């Protein structure tokens, strides 16, 4: 470079394309990995073309989710052949579950980093720069959260914060206890400090994340803090307006957490409480350790504390051994709960899980059941959305919408709400009246 030339902005920075699959915890992990790579001089780019590194943060929960990795790697192959300097990394739950098998199947992969080892990513990238393929799928003794750089200068208005990771429940269909390891709760003081940092950088809502977030039990000053105590402490932070938590297990909905939905205005009236099936026989075969009636009574107690709470759920259809009568019991449970929304999946056998070897339900039968269940849930969801018309809600503005002057935010109940108003900006918490409803979103007008 001659002395008169000035460096271009961003010169010397390397480009990282980061793609995230799966759950909110992967979204949080991707943000942390982007921060760790930022400290190494990497900036994010939207496309794999032109990137110096592509990192795929993967999900192993169902076969379709994990196969996406291999189709994406197939698409990356020509890029890697054209530019051998391009580094390709695989992170997350497929990395954890399949480890070296990924590099065997796809030799273009330079780095495999499991979900518990991503604080070691920068060192692995340096090793890859030196021409070494790199694999780390350990569950290290050190705390990855404490080995990551500080959070970035700006936070999204609605931020995620992992408070608990892993699962000891071992539902017979689920890979999470294997990909995320056993349940670990972060110390409350660290969580409170990270929350304060997020708020100082613009967050107004925090969603506490954990595979079993309501099993949170952090030790603080020798005392055992449950999730309710953590939420109460977070609620005292000025500038934090909204608190949510996900995902909860029905068996860990404690009385004090339920009471908090009545007593703590910052705790939002939304609860994701998966049940998977309405048949006691299937719940037992799934190793869920609760009955359909236990679940219904828990929902009743929650609604007694907070009558307007929006309840969502997860369902698996076609679990091995599911009969028509079992499926009818699931439909009956859905009728009894009346969900604001729910996710539903056809059972997918996962290698290494106890249910994987059991005789499957006929695929066509499972598909037909899934359609019936989804139609019922869509009816409930649409009715719940329509019941919002005319109601006043808080909306946290998150981003501009597709139309000029339009903004998108989330209601207290986590509905997507579209508002038209010139004066809105991300991070504003506004009151709005809902004027229109669709199955997946609402429209409203700002009040005052
Ligand atoms: N920790 C949460 C979520 C786990 S994964 C919980 O306890 O509910 C999210 C959802 O994926 C599950 O609730 C379940 O409905 C679905 N799921 C998990 N394993 C599955 C499998 N093998 N086949 C189909 N769906 C599955
Ligand atoms: Fe998976 Fe069950 Fe644990 Fe949820 S509670 S993560 S479904 S094993
Ligand atoms: Fe998928 Fe792992 Fe989350 S398997 S759902 S990314 S915990």
- CATH number of the domain enclosing 183: 3.80.30.20
CA 25 to ligand 1 centroid distance, Å: 14
Output the pLDDT for position 149. 74
- Contacts of residue 34, Cβ cutoff 8 Å, sequence gap at least 6: 16, 18, 42, 44
Output the pLDDT for position 311. 98
Across the range 264-281, mean pLDDT stands at 98
Domain count, the chain: 3
Distance CA 227, CA 220 (A): 12
233 forms beta bridges with none
3 has pLDDT over 90:
no
12 has pLDDT over 90:
no
Residues 233, 155 share a domain: yes
CATH number, domain containing residue 94: 3.40.50.2300
**What value does the CA radius of gyration of the chain take, rounded to a whole number of Å?**
23
Both structure tokens of 391: 């109601």
Q: Return the H-helix or E-strand segment holding 392.
A: strand 392-400
Instruction: Let me know: does 149 contact 39? Beta carbons within 8 Å.
Output: yes
Q: Is 211 in the pocket of ligand 2 (CB under 6 A)?
A: yes
Q: Which of 386, 412, 436 is at the close of a domain?
A: 386
The binding-site residues of ligand 1, defined as CB within 6 angstroms of any ligand atom, are 61-62, 173-174, 176, 211-212, 247, 249, 274, 276, 314, 316, 345, 347-348, 350
Output the pLDDT for position 302. 98
Output the pLDDT for position 6. 45
35-49: per-residue pLDDT in tens? 999 989 999 999 999
CA 223 to ligand 1 centroid distance, Å: 32
CA 372 to ligand 2 centroid distance, Å: 25
Across the range 73-91, mean pLDDT stands at 96
Please state, rounded to an integer, the average pLDDT across all residues of the chain. Answer: 94
Q: Which atom, in ligand 2's list, is nearest to the CA of 287?
A: 2
Report residue 349 CA to chain centroid gap. Answer: 21
Q: Residue 418's domain spans which residues?
A: 392-446
Distance CA 186, CA 162 (A): 8
3-state SS, 288-332, equals: CCCCHHHHHHHHHHHHHHCCCCEEEEEEEECCCCCCHHHHHHHHH
CA 101 to ligand 2 centroid distance, Å: 25
What pTM was computed for the model?
A: 0.95
CA 211 to ligand 2 centroid distance, Å: 7
Distance CA 303, CA 309 (A): 7
Q: Is 25 in the pocket of ligand 3 (CB under 6 A)?
A: yes
Indicate the DSSP class of residue 118. G
Output the pLDDT for position 9. 47
Residue identifier of the C-alpha nearest atom 1 of ligand 2: 174
Residues 17, 121 share a domain: yes
Least confident of 129-133, 208-212, 254-258, 432-436: 129-133
Phi, psi of 36 (to 5 degrees): -65, -40
Output the pLDDT for position 151. 63
Phi, psi of 365 (to 5 degrees): -65, -45
Residues 171, 97 share a domain: no
Output the pLDDT for position 349. 98
175-215: per-residue pLDDT in tens? 999 999 999 999 999 999 999 999 999 999 999 999 999 99
Output the pLDDT for position 152. 62
Please report which ligand is nearest the Cα atom of 180.
3
380 has pLDDT over 50:
yes
112-127: per-residue pLDDT in tens? 999 889 889 999 999 9
CA 93 to ligand 1 centroid distance, Å: 13
Output the pLDDT for position 393. 98
How many residues are recorded in the chain?
448
Alpha carbon distances (Å) from 434 to 349, 392, 419: 42, 6, 9
Q: Is 232 in the pocket of ligand 3 (CB under 6 A)?
A: no
Output the pLDDT for position 135. 86
Minimal CA–CA distance to 408: which of 394, 420, 398, 422?
Answer: 398
Please report which ligand is nearest the Cα atom of 64.
1
Residues 274, 163 share a domain: yes
CA 397 to ligand 1 centroid distance, Å: 30
Residues 295, 192 share a domain: yes
Q: Which atom, in ligand 2's list, is nearest to the CA of 276?
A: 7
314-349: per-residue pLDDT in tens? 999 999 999 999 999 999 999 999 999 999 999 999
Output the pLDDT for position 141. 66
Q: Which of 103, 118, 136 is at the close of a domain?
A: 136
169-183: per-residue pLDDT in tens? 999 999 999 999 999
Residues 440, 382 share a domain: no
Residue identifier of the C-alpha nearest atom 3 of ligand 3: 23
Across the range 228-255, mean pLDDT stands at 98
CATH number, domain containing residue 417: 2.40.50.140
Across the range 379-392, mean pLDDT stands at 98
Output the pLDDT for position 2. 39
Residues 129, 214 share a domain: no
Distance CA 68, CA 74 (A): 10
150 has pLDDT over 80:
no
Residues 346, 292 share a domain: yes
Residues 283, 203 share a domain: yes
CA 198 to ligand 3 centroid distance, Å: 24
Distance CA 431, CA 396 (A): 9
Residues 215, 178 share a domain: yes
Residues 293, 149 share a domain: yes
Residues 246, 161 share a domain: yes
Q: Which of 351, 386, 421 is at the close of a domain?
A: 386
Please report which ligand is nearest the Cα atom of 26.
3
Instruction: Let me know: does 206 contact 243? Beta carbons within 8 Å.
Output: yes
Output the pLDDT for position 11. 52
Across the range 370-395, mean pLDDT stands at 98
Please report which ligand is nearest the Cα atom of 169.
2
Phi, psi of 277 (to 5 degrees): -155, 160
């Amino acid at each position: 470079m001659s002395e008169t030339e000035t460096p271009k902005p961003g010169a010397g920075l390397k480009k990282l394309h980061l793609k995230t699959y799966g759950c909110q915890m992967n979204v949080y992990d991707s943000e942390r990995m982007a921060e760790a790579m930022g400290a190494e001089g990497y900036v994010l780019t939207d496309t794999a073309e032109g990137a110096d590194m592509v990192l795929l943060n993967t999900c192993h929960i169902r076969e379709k989710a994990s196969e996406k990795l291999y189709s994406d790697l197939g698409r990356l192959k020509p890029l890697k052949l054209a530019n051998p300097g391009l580094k390709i990394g695989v992170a997350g739950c497929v990395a954890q579950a399949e480890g070296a098998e990924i590099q065997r199947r796809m030799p273009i992969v330079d780095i495999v980093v499991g979900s518990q080892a991503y604080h070691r990513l920068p060192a692995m990238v340096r090793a890859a720069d030196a021409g070494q393929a790199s694999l780390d799928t350990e569950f290290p003794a050190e705390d990855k959260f404490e080995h990551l750089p500080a959070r970035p200068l700006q936070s999204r208005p609605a931020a995620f914060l992992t408070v608990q990771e892993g699962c000891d429940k071992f539902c017979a269909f689920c890979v999470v206890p294997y990909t995320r390891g056993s349940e670990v709760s972060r110390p409350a003081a660290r969580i409170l400090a990270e929350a304060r940092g997020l708020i100082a950088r613009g967050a107004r809502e925090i969603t506490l994340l954990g595979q079993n977030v309501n099993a949170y039990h952090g030790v603080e000053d020798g005392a055992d803090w449950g999730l309710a105590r953590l939420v109460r402490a977070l609620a005292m932070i000025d500038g934090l307006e909204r608190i949510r938590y996900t995902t909860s297990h029905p068996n860990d909905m404690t009385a004090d957490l339920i009471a908090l939905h009545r007593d703590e205005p910052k705790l939002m009236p939304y609860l994701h409480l998966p049940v998977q099936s309405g048949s006691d026989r299937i719940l037992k075969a799934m190793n869920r350790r609760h009955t359909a009636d236990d679940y219904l009574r828990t929902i009743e107690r929650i609604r007694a504390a907070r009558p307007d709470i929006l309840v969502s759920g997860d369902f698996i259809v076609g679990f091995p051994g599911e009969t028509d009568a079992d499926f009818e019991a699931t439909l009956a449970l859905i009728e009894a709960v009346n969900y604001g929304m729910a996710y539903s999946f056809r059972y997918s056998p996962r290698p290494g899980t106890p249910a994987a070897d059991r005789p499957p339900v006929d695929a066509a039968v499972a598909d037909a059941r899934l359609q019936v269940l989804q139609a019922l849930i869509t009816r409930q969801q649409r009715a719940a959305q329509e019941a919002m018309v005319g109601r006043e809600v808080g909306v946290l503005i998150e981003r501009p919408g597709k139309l000029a002057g339009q903004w998108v935010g989330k209601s207290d109940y986590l509905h997507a709400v579209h508002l038209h108003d010139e004066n809105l900006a991300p991070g504003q918490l506004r009151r709005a009246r809902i004027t229109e409803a669709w199955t997946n979103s609402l429209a409203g007008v700002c009040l005052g």
